[in-house]
Structure 1
Amino acid sequence: MSELKCLGIDPGLSIIGWALLTGDESEHPHLMDYGTIETKKQLSTPERLLIIETDMVDLIRELQPSLIAIEMPFFSREIKAAGGVLQALGIINLVCYRERKIIPILLHQSSWKGHLGNGRAKKAEVAFMVQSLFDLPNLPINDTVDAIGIAYAAFCGLRNYIS
């Protein structure tokens, strides 16, 4: 059986969290790396999207994932950032397909969090679950925590079949 390299992505316009898990599908995965891609709010949206595209291309070329999972954002009507996040999501989708011919798995927040044990978990609770799963002494409570959870759920086979 070949090694699975699963890239989890928590999309955003300001901050994109990412995490790479590797391993045999029949075993517990290893957390290989994680981080963020950040853009400055002072820049125009097109400038920020260009940074996201460039950084995502570099990341995907470096990590060479075989599977990519992205959280599908959910917005209430009051969220002003929805347009920017959805544009960033489009760029991420484009790069995944152009660079690796991968159509990302889109996961609802409640489903990947539910896979960790609580579909309504706050970020600190997700961090605790991720720390326990991967025996991590310290983990920054930021967008990388969600990316690790997204990657883990997809690595374990979770699919929402969102098109």
Structure 2
Amino acid sequence: MRVLGIDPGLTRCGFGAVDGGASRSAVFVGAGVITSSSADTIDQRLLEIHTGLEQVIEEYAPDILAVERVFSQNNVGTVMGTAQVSGLAIVLAAQRGIPVEMHTPSEVKRAITDNGRADKKQIQAVVARLLGLAEAPKPADAADAVAIAITQLWRGRGTVRLDRTGAARTSAQAQWADAERRARRSREASTSHW
């Protein structure tokens, strides 16, 4: 099985492809980044990322796309750009009939290093060791995308639990859905007082 990991970002969108081997091993296929200039307008930046993602998906022909899901960030602008690029990747996969899975950063850190708070250097070192590389793919966004792909290989599409609607979710996805529900209820409660 080939997994293409995507570390979405508007300035740098990392990608990394790995093939699943025997005994939970992963074989490095390729990695890199797609960039857009902050000097360009948002429509041009998204078009650049879209075009790059389309080429990467066509080149690597993944069986599944694994995208990082941002759980929370303080910088709203960064979250918006990340969400927009995530949407592009998901739509491109859907157009090709490629299944999509999402993983939070802490889920990836736990899967790769057994530590949900690992820093980027720890993740890069483990990724290089797991893949038998002299060093992790560069830049860091590419290494992160490879880590996302490895997480998908190891976690697979199996369910950890079902949400209230009966949909299969990993524990991180279930936590995300619960947080979204709580936030929605909180917004509804605060607007109903007006």
TM over 0.5: yes
| Runs of 5+ consecutive residues of structure 1 not aligned to the other structure | none
Partners in 1 of 2:14 and 2:139 — Cα distance? 11
Q: SS where residue 124 of structure 2 aligns?
A: helix
Partners in 2 of 1:65 and 1:46 — Cα distance? 27
Cα 1:27–1:115 change in 2 (3 A) is closer
How far the C-alpha of 1:23 sits from its partner, in A, is: 3.1
Using CA pairs below 8 Å that are at least 6 residues apart, which structure has the higher relative contact order?
Answer: 1
Where in structure 2 are the equivalents of 1:26-65 lying within 5 Å?
26-65=23-62
What TM-score, normalized to structure 1? 0.89
Where in structure 2 are the equivalents of 1:7-156 lying within 5 Å?
7-24=4-21, 26-98=23-95, 100-116=96-112, 117-139=114-136, 140-156=138-154
Query: 2:63–2:99: 8 Å Cα contact kept in structure 1?
Result: no
Partners in 2 of 1:137 and 1:154 — Cα distance? 23
How far the C-alpha of 1:134 sits from its partner, in A, is: 1.2
Residue deviations 1:106-146 (CA, integer Å, cap 9, x gap): 10111111011211111111101111111211233510111
Partners in 2 of 1:16 and 1:158 — Cα distance? 23
Partners in 2 of 1:138 and 1:52 — Cα distance? 26
Cα 1:38–1:63 change in 2 (3 A) is same
Identity of aligned residues (%): 28
The structure with the largest helix share of the pair is: 2
How far the C-alpha of 1:57 sits from its partner, in A, is: 1.0
| Runs of 5+ consecutive residues of structure 2 not aligned to the other structure | 158-168, 178-194
Residue deviations 1:19-45 (CA, integer Å, cap 9, x gap): 111134644120111111111110111
Q: CA RMSD in A?
A: 1.8
Cα 1:27–1:76 change in 2 (3 A) is closer
Query: 1:25–1:156: 8 Å Cα contact kept in structure 2?
Result: no
Partners in 2 of 1:81 and 1:112 — Cα distance? 20
| Paired AA for residue 98 in structure 2 | I
Partners in 2 of 1:38 and 1:111 — Cα distance? 25
| Paired AA for residue 152 in structure 1 | I
